[in-house]
């Protein structure tokens, strides 16, 4: 896996294609592996010519192999403020295995992945079909359930890879194999942790916001409403300023044009019920609510009372720093 940061090699035309071909050939020759086993991921500025010579020369330089995953995570950062990584021990049956993951991402983050890279590795012997099933199982509630600014990128990548170093007498043939029970729980933790770290490190972010929508008429409606709330600049700036302006949640729900029964709608900030039965909660303690909003983790809960489906998404606030970063990203 070859990863570069600073240039995402998109809208670079034939030059970008030739650059990838040259990088792949260089890696294949340098490490004596098949070109079909080389994967490339890029992140950075769109439309800038890919620095082929610089990347190829860097690959050709012989380096001492390193087991420091945090260094790898740090090397792929762009506007990130800290490297994101996690490594845990798990079990498949009675066999101890390791799961290690690194990720980058801070801006241009929206569900359906975004300008973020995530790489998760295990030493357990798992074939391609098992890995594919596992990533499909866990990506939707992790990397596909986050948003920083509502902007999808041209580039996004999440890979789940096995070195196959730990062998099993009886191979794993299905993700429903009972021996995978503990491993799946730990793998889900790795996916969720890395996704959350991307939001916590959102450009200029000061607060993590968890949006929970429940009792929606269907899953599509729940997802649509939760994402609309998460991507509202008005709500995100209100949370940054500790402003309990729940009307912005109402606005975000309304602009989805989903059918909602307003007289049954309930909205809470944390444990503070701010709206119910189509109107404000007259008994709300504004002072305590504002104090709650000053915390670095905020929960916004929406009960639609219109069905049984639910959705959850993580986002962050918008601060002055978000503008500062993105007003001069290229220049």
Name the residues annotated as catalytic.
115
Are the CB atoms for 121 and 138 separated by under 8 Å? no
Tell me how far apart the terminal alpha carbons of the chain are, to the nearest angstrom.
30
Are the CB atoms for 265 and 281 separated by under 8 Å? no
Rounded distance between C-alpha atoms, residue 131 and residue 121, angstroms: 10
Are the CB atoms for 50 and 19 separated by under 8 Å? yes
| Closest C-alpha among 190, 8, 40, 193 to residue 114 | 8
The whole-angstrom distance between residue 148's C-alpha and the CA centroid of its chain comes to 9
DSSP 153: P
Number of H helices, E strands in the chain: 10, 12
Angle between helices 181-200 and 128-139 (to 10 degrees): 50
């Amino acid at each position: 896996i070859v990863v570069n940061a600073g240039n995402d090699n998109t809208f670079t035309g034939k030059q970008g294609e030739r650059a990838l071909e040259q990088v792949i050939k260089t890696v294949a020759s340098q490490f004596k592996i098949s070109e079909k086993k080389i994967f490339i991921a890029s992140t950075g500025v769109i439309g800038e010519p890919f620095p082929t010579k610089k990347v190829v020369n860097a690959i050709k330089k012989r380096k001492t192999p390193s087991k420091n995953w945090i260094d790898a995570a740090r090397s792929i950062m762009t506007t990130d403020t800290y490297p994101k990584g996690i490594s845990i021990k798990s079990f498949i049956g009675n066999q101890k295995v390791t799961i290690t993951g690194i990720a980058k991402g801070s801006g241009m983050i929206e569900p359906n992945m975004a300008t973020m890279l995530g790489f998760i590795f295990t030493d357990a012997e798992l074939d391609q079909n098992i890995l594919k099933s596992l990533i499909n199982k866990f990506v939707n509630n992790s990397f596909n359930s986050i948003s920083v600014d509502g902007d999808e990128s041209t580039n996004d990548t999440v890979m789940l890879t096995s070195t196959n170093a730990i062998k099993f007498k009886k191979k794993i043939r299905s993700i429903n194999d009972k021996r995978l029970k503990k491993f799946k729980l730990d793998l889900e933790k790795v996916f969720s942790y890395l996704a959350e770290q991307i939001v916590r490190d959102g450009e200029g972010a000061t607060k993590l916001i968890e949006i929970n929508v429940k009792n929606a008429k269907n899953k599509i409606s729940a997802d649509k409403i939760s994402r609309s709330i998460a991507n509202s600049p008005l709500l995100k700036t209100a949370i940054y300023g500790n402003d309990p302006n729940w009307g912005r949640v109402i606005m975000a729900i309304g602009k989805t044009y989903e059918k909602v029964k307003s007289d049954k709608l309930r909205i809470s900030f944390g444990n503070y019920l701010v709206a119910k039965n189509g109107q404000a909660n007259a008994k709300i303690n504004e002072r305590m609510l504002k104090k709650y909003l000053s915390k670095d983790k905020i929960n916004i809960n929406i009960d639609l009372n219109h069905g049984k489906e639910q959705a959850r998404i993580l986002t962050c606030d918008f601060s002055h720093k978000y503008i500062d970063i993105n007003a001069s990203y290229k220049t």
